[in-house]
């Protein structure tokens, strides 16, 4: 049997251990968590869809760009459908909520008013939309609308009263009039006199932005958690 001096054995063992330590993989540094921007669904009609314009010229895209520029990015989903009513928006709501939005901007009612729909139906539909969105945990921003006086003073005033009443009862912020500074200005509307031009949409975006900025600042990240890369 071959005997080795203890010193030699100890030396070899130390070298082997040192080699093993040197070869051990370093513990990877975890990537910093990133927040997924809040999802904001804009549930509306042709005013939201940006009728006659490119998608990036519609106010939802313009608001998203403005918020990103101020360091508050969102993932905007334009759920505007030309010709839609409050009843149509209510029917589409389940689809919109599948996107798990943190904020829902409700901009409906103009087509109802232009068609002379019963005020009670308009209010009931809007109430249902807001309450169902709130039930998912989403915050809601309500966009107010007005009717021209030629629809009759009683109808126009009754229509206008729907939005502030709902906002107060349901505890949601209200853009008093979505088309403030645009309606009644021919140069800011397309030839039909109803749909904003690109410049008109920029004004609508400025009407909406401060209200939405407050809601987004208070909203959790998408899914309510931070997601690692």
Q: Give the C-alpha distances (Å, rounded to integers) separating 207 from 6, 62, 66, 104.
A: 85, 11, 12, 16
11 is catalytic: no
d(CA 33, CA 226): 6
Of the candidates 45, 46, 84, 112, the residue annotated as catalytic is 46
Is 144:178 a contact under the CB 8 Å cutoff? yes
Question: Is residue 79 within a helix (H) or strand (E), and if so which, with residue range?
Answer: strand 75-80
What is the layout of strands, in order, in the sheet containing 139-143?
A: 75-80, 39-44, 103-107, 139-143, 174-175
94 carries an active-site annotation: no
DSSP 219: S
Instruction: Check if the beta carbon of residue 103 is closer than 8 Å to that of residue 215.
Output: yes
Please tell me the total number of residues recorded for the chain in this structure: 229
Rounded CA separation 222/224 (Å) = 5
Q: Output the CA–CA distances (angstroms, integers) from residue 219 to 3, 37, 63, 222, in the order listed.
A: 74, 10, 16, 9
Query: In the annotation, is 185 catalytic?
Result: no
Catalytic residues: 46, 192, 195
């Amino acid at each position: 049997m071959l005997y080795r001096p203890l010193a030699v054995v100890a030396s070899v063992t130390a070298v082997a251990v040192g080699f093993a330590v040197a070869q051990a993989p370093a513990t990877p540094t975890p990537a910093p968590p990133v927040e997924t921007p809040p999802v904001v669904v804009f549930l509306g009609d042709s005013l939201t869809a940006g009728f006659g314009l490119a998608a990036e010229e519609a106010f939802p895209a313009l608001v998203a760009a403005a918020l990103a520029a101020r360091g508050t990015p969102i993932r905007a989903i334009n759920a505007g459908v030309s010709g839609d009513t409050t009843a149509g928006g209510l029917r589409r709501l389940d689809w919109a909520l599948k996107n798990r939005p943190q904020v829902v901007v409700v901009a409906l009612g103009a087509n109802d008013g232009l068609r002379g729909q019963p005020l009670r139906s308009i209010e009931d539909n809007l109430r249902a939309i807001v309450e169902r969105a709130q039930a998912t945990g989403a915050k809601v921003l309500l966009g107010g609308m007005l009717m021209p006086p030629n629809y009759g003073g009683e109808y126009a005033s009754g229509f206008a009263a729907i939005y502030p009443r709902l906002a107060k009862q349901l505890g949601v912020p209200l853009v008093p009039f979505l088309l403030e500074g645009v309606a009644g200005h021919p140069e800011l509307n397309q030839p039909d006199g109803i749909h904003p031009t690109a410049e008109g949409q920029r004004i609508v975006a400025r009407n909406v932005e401060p209200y939405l900025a407050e809601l987004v600042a208070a909203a959790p990240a998408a899914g309510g958690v931070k997601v690692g890369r």
